[in-house]
Structure 1
Amino acid sequence: MAKKAEDMDNEQKKDIPVEEAFDKVDATIKALEQSDISLEDSFKLFKEGMDLLKYCNDSIDKVEKKVQKVMADGRTEDFE
């Protein structure tokens, strides 16, 4: 059984593929849309979702920097 984002510590979040992190963000959003969720649980899910989004953003930034470094002709350009 897969762990929920709330059960994962920061080290575990760093070890998951970015696609899986986005799936967890999607699941978090769906959980937040439930009408029977408590305020406390909403806050926890919101924080976990934001942590996952930061992880995704950081991962994408790292890939963009790598792409810039491996440009075939040695030029660096902004990644679009």
Structure 2
Amino acid sequence: MAKKEFSIDQGFEQLDDILKKLGSEDVKLSDAVKLYSEGVSVVKECKDSLDQVEKELIILNENGEENEV
């Protein structure tokens, strides 16, 4: 099965939802641990996505293409 394309915007939305759930007074400890783990995974995907964009910008810059960040 192919891996679903990651969207950084969706990642930020997921993190926002996770934070809201973690802030709930009704969250159980076991659920909080699962949410935290999920959040760490989403943060890693966001970081990897941003790193990839940075690499692409460096390659463009090295090829002499004009770009502004």
Question: Does TM, normalized by the shorter one, top 0.5?
Answer: yes
Aligned length, in residue pairs: 63
8 Å CA contact retained: 2:22, 2:32: yes
More contact order relative to length (CA 8 Å, sep ≥ 6): 2
1:20 maps onto 2:10 in alignment? yes
User: What's the secondary structure of 2:41's corresponding residue?
Assistant: helix
**CA–CA distance in structure 1, aligned partners of residues 39 and 52 of structure 2:** 20
Question: Normalising by structure 2, what TM-score?
Answer: 0.82
Give unmatched runs, 5+ long, in structure 1: 1-10, 75-79
Shift of 1:16: 3.0
Paired with 1:42 and 1:50, the residues of 2 have a C-alpha distance of 12
Large movers: runs of 4+ above 6 Å = none
- 1:69 correspondence with 2:59: yes
Cα distance in 1 between the residues matched to 2:6 and 2:54: 18
Name the TM-score, length of structure 1 as normaliser: 0.72
